[in-house]
Structure 1
């Protein structure tokens, strides 16, 4: 049976809230599983140094075992225990972005089990900025392995009710807190090569990374489908992720033509009795009559679209959408992370606007 514990983020240093987190830390230390809020999405955590504990995450999520996990830490001592060769470039990124939504890939130490790394000799590490997450890790005294707290393949949870829908009865405890501020998983950068490689886009952009490091490479899998059997170095690269239950189509091109094409596709579907949903920038949300339209946020605010995306995809499922259409955003630099998640959710089903 899952314990669901409400935590008050505004009072996280109060004794009553600390006691709740101490209870969660005991579960982690004893080999159990705890869902906790972070600034990106909710995470499903277990002791990242114990292979049996990590396997419980796979079981709860139904997650493929070759999908690497991120180990979450609360201080630099933990990093030195699990990662080798912390380069000058890594230290520069740590100074600028930690704690925060940046994950770095290092060569792993022998303390990290292969179950946590998808069989790789590298480990992905992040220091979150969310106060409850940091406090839980610190009280546990352990790096916490934590992918997103959802059934594998489904949209990641940004609200505690999303977690309860997916994992109630499958984990030991759910810490129910605030909504995730960012709403997308962390940016992931590989620092095991001389030239750093972006493996997964997030709220920290290529431009921001290059302000610190100079030019970086962008992994080709960010914009293409990964082939079966291909090894990946980061979570979120290989499988269909973030996906609603209905068929999803992305439309690429000039935004006005995109909106016209989405409207045509979904009007046709509704005419055939198919439940259809449009995910639409707020600038065009009043153009859809007879079709359910969800406001993704403004074209002028990638941050707003990030924060709303997974809730919109979950709302599609709540409505019972059989077909969903959304734009593939033209501004590919600013919307790289959003386009990446939309592409994964749609299984790379992208068409050109009429």
Structure 2
């Protein structure tokens, strides 16, 4: 194990208080954390990730008691959702307080807040006392990391410390809900199902595609995101089998990521069986993409998952990771 990977909370706390970066585990994906109150520390995140300067980052806090430290004009709906789902995989977009740095908000008048559920990072946040700006710990646009080793593979010794919290249990990023308009808006599907949020609020969420949110910038809404460096083509199994054969005939190395049972091996393709249920699929998706990436294959062919509501977050990530569609 590299020396930069450990469970040393004292070292993590010292680095963050000194304005340095630390890789942290959450239940969703690993984050690249800095003191959210210090613009010069947050700037190091953007520099290391290659992240656009106007792209906001989520502030991670210990719990609902810190909401008022970062947001103002907080609606009752925000406190209801925090009580129901925090700590957990839900990010709330609220009106920022004036002191919140532009480096965190991308210059907008809103801030994203989340209380992660991972016990190691929750303990770190309680000791730290403030908020940690922490987008995913990867190069901007690349597949998100779900283990400490993934973070090390991405940045190596450029990070002084990566806290090792084991594999992420959710595996895809948090659900983001906007609460600054007249109605709550689902800006990004994620670890908390939309139906569970609607049950707490007693109202339907507007989906951002239907809302007037084009000017609102939040994490994970770019058309291309979460993408492996190897081309990823998505479609029904029959179309992928034909594509795999054509690619093999052309001398390419092919990985076929599928949910359907295949009666026989597809010519020349390495078979990668994916989980059948959405929770396990989400947990394994990024790790599988990373395992197949890095030059092992010339193309990745992924069988499109079902379109049911409980696959919404998975399909959102695949849509943004895909470089093309078949069938």
TM range (shorter): over 0.9
Matched with 1:145 is 133
Question: Structure 1 residues 68, 332: CA separation in 2 closer, same or farther (over 3 Å shift)?
Answer: farther
Matched with 1:205 is 193
Matched with 1:92 is 80
Matched with 1:21 is 9
Rounded to whole Å, the distance in 2 between the matches of 1:35 and 1:221 is 35
Residue of structure 2 aligned with 1:274, choices 244, 247, 252: 252
Corresponding position: 1:215 with 2:191 = no
Rounded to whole Å, the distance in 1 between the matches of 2:111 and 2:79 is 16
Provide Cα deviations, 1:241-296, integer angstroms capped at 9, x if missing partner.
Answer: 11111222221xxxxxx111111111110110112111111644865352012222
Corresponding position: 1:250 with 2:228 = no
1:73 to partner: Cα distance: 0.2
Rounded to whole Å, the distance in 2 between the matches of 1:174 and 1:247 is 29
Contact residue 343 and residue 350 of structure 1 kept, 8 A: no
Residue of structure 2 aligned with 1:263, choices 227, 231, 241: 241
**TM-score for the superposition, normalised by structure 1:** 0.87
Contact residue 153 and residue 239 of structure 1 kept, 8 A: no
Contact residue 22 and residue 34 of structure 2 kept, 8 A: yes
Equivalent residues in 2 for 1:53-92, closer than 5 Å: 53-92=41-80
* SS, match of residue 334 in structure 1: helix
| Aligned positions, number | 324
Corresponding position: 1:304 with 2:280 = yes
* SS, match of residue 310 in structure 2: coil
Rounded to whole Å, the distance in 2 between the matches of 1:95 and 1:142 is 19
* SS, match of residue 271 in structure 2: strand
Matched with 1:134 is 122
Rounded to whole Å, the distance in 1 between the matches of 2:53 and 2:210 is 19
Question: Structure 1 residues 296, 21: CA separation in 2 closer, same or farther (over 3 Å shift)?
Answer: same
1:132 to partner: Cα distance: 0.6
1:111 to partner: Cα distance: 2.2
Rounded to whole Å, the distance in 2 between the matches of 1:118 and 1:221 is 23
Provide Cα deviations, 1:108-136, integer angstroms capped at 9, x if missing partner.
Answer: 11221111112211000000111111111
Corresponding position: 1:295 with 2:273 = yes
Contact residue 285 and residue 294 of structure 1 kept, 8 A: no
Question: Structure 1 residues 71, 286: CA separation in 2 closer, same or farther (over 3 Å shift)?
Answer: farther
Rounded to whole Å, the distance in 1 between the matches of 2:292 and 2:240 is 16
Matched with 2:298 is 322
Question: What are the ranges of 5 or more consecutive residues in structure 2 without an aligned counterpart?
Answer: none
Rounded to whole Å, the distance in 1 between the matches of 2:80 and 2:261 is 39
Question: Structure 1 residues 286, 140: CA separation in 2 closer, same or farther (over 3 Å shift)?
Answer: farther
1:24 to partner: Cα distance: 0.7
Matched with 2:6 is 6
Rounded to whole Å, the distance in 2 between the matches of 1:171 and 1:283 is 42
* SS, match of residue 229 in structure 2: coil
Question: What are the ranges of 5 or more consecutive residues in structure 1 without an aligned counterpart?
Answer: 8-19, 252-257
Contact residue 54 and residue 116 of structure 1 kept, 8 A: yes
Question: Structure 1 residues 232, 323: CA separation in 2 closer, same or farther (over 3 Å shift)?
Answer: farther
Residue of structure 2 aligned with 1:110, choices 83, 98, 103: 98
Rounded to whole Å, the distance in 2 between the matches of 1:327 and 1:98 is 34
Matched with 1:179 is 167
Contact residue 66 and residue 118 of structure 1 kept, 8 A: yes
